[in-house]
Amino acid sequence: MNSGDEDDAVRELSDRVPREVHIREEGPRDGWQNIEDVVIPTSVKVDYIQRLVRAGLRRISVTAMVHPKWVPQLADGPEVLAALEAVPGVDFGVLVPNPRGWSRLTGLLDDGAPITEITTVVSVSEAHNQANVNMSVADSLRQLEPVIGAARERGLHVSAGVATVYGCSLSGAVDVSDVIAVARALVDMGAGELTLGDTTGMANPVQVTEVLGRLRQAVPTTRLTPHFHNTRGAGLANVLAALQLGVDSFESAYGELGGCQFARGATGNIATEDLVSMLEEMGVRTGVDLLQLIDVVTDMEAFLGRRLDSHVSHAGPVDWNGRP
């Protein structure tokens, strides 16, 4: 390849990559729910959510409507919502896994909870869905339909989570046609967005290109928001593959918090600060203040008494002026 061809290839790549990316911060929900050795007080949770807002995050998943027996760390979800105030331009979201969760949230919405969007979840893998919610994929879809309809009636944005999109540690490979079938079912119910989970951290960039490419053909008007885990270190490489398809929305968690109990060696979601650093260095706007976000990670490490798996929070941002 001569230099002219290389320049053309670089321009072609640059033209495909979006100029701005939207990030949904999952640390306060997906991240915290996997912390079992330390109880995070409600006041600390609210403070960190507010700090994430000040750092420039405009979509934040703040809690889940789940039974405290299964997710003790999020037992104070109603108290968190009661303490939060609406912020113009910021969308606070809640995971609602089933009709019981929706019933709980309805009362909180009536009391003024500042929620503008919900996320539902269903696995493509039958084995994972049984392990995660104790029902078949078909049954999950049936029980989510009235939840999605009711949420839309209340003016909430619905992001439908699709788990084990790229493979299942319990049952192996996942067929893309099954992913498309679940995705279409959720869109037909009224979901305005699909959150595509690399739940067990098995995705690779070639696979991401295939799956997202086929999904964009199957549901062309629906926003696709990848949710990559960094279990095998491929998280940001997978982001790049999605960017090259023009995808402009991602989920991540500060400090690389999160995980999956069914994935061997599971780490968390891709770290928000690592994602922001890479995107901004590529010339892709995120609206996030990286230094403020790093402070959030550093303080959470001090609170937990352990080092988190993020890279940028320890190496620091790229500094072209050579300052330490």
| CA–CA gap between residue 63 and residue 319 (Å, rounded) | 35
pLDDT at 324: 45
Residue 322 lies in a domain: no
Residue 142: per-residue pLDDT: 97
- The amino acid sitting at 301 is E
Tell me whether residue 5 is in a domain. Answer: no
Task: Please list, residue by residue across 19-30, b when 16 or more beta carbons sit within 10 angstroms of its beta carbon and e when fewer do.
Answer: eebbbbbbbbbb
First to last CA, the chain: 38
Question: Could you give the CA distance from residue 62 to residue 318 in angstroms, rounded to a whole number?
Answer: 30
State which residues form the domain around 57. Answer: 17-315
22 and 67 Cβ atoms separated by less than 8 Å: no
Residues noted as catalytic: 260
Domain count, the chain: 1
CATH number at residue 24: 3.20.20.70
pLDDT confidence of residue 25: 98
Per-residue pLDDT of the chain (324 residues; tens, 9 = 90+): 566 655 655 566 667 899 999 999 999 999 999 898 899 999 999 999 999 999 999 999 999 999 898 899 999 999 999 999 999 999 999 999 999 999 999 999 999 999 999 999 999 999 999 988 899 999 999 999 999 999 999 999 999 999 999 999 889 999 999 999 999 999 999 999 999 999 989 999 999 999 999 999 999 999 999 999 998 999 999 999 999 999 999 999 999 999 776 566 567 899 999 999 999 999 999 999 999 999 999 999 999 999 999 999 999 998 766 554
Alpha carbon 79 to chain centroid distance? 23
Per-residue model confidence (pLDDT) at position 174: 95
Q: What is the pTM of this model?
A: 0.93
With respect to residue 133, please indicate whether it lies within any of the assigned structural domains: yes
CA dihedral (203, 158, 257, 71) in degrees, to 10, reads: -110
Task: Burial-class residue 232 by CB neighbours within 10 Å (0-12, 13-18, 19+).
Answer: middle
Is the residue at 262 inside a domain? yes
In a domain, 323, yes or no: no
Whether 199 maps to a domain, the answer reads yes
324 domain-assigned: no
- Name which of 155, 36, 29 is nearest 96 in CA terms: 29
21 lies in some domain: yes
What's the confidence (pLDDT) of residue 15?
77
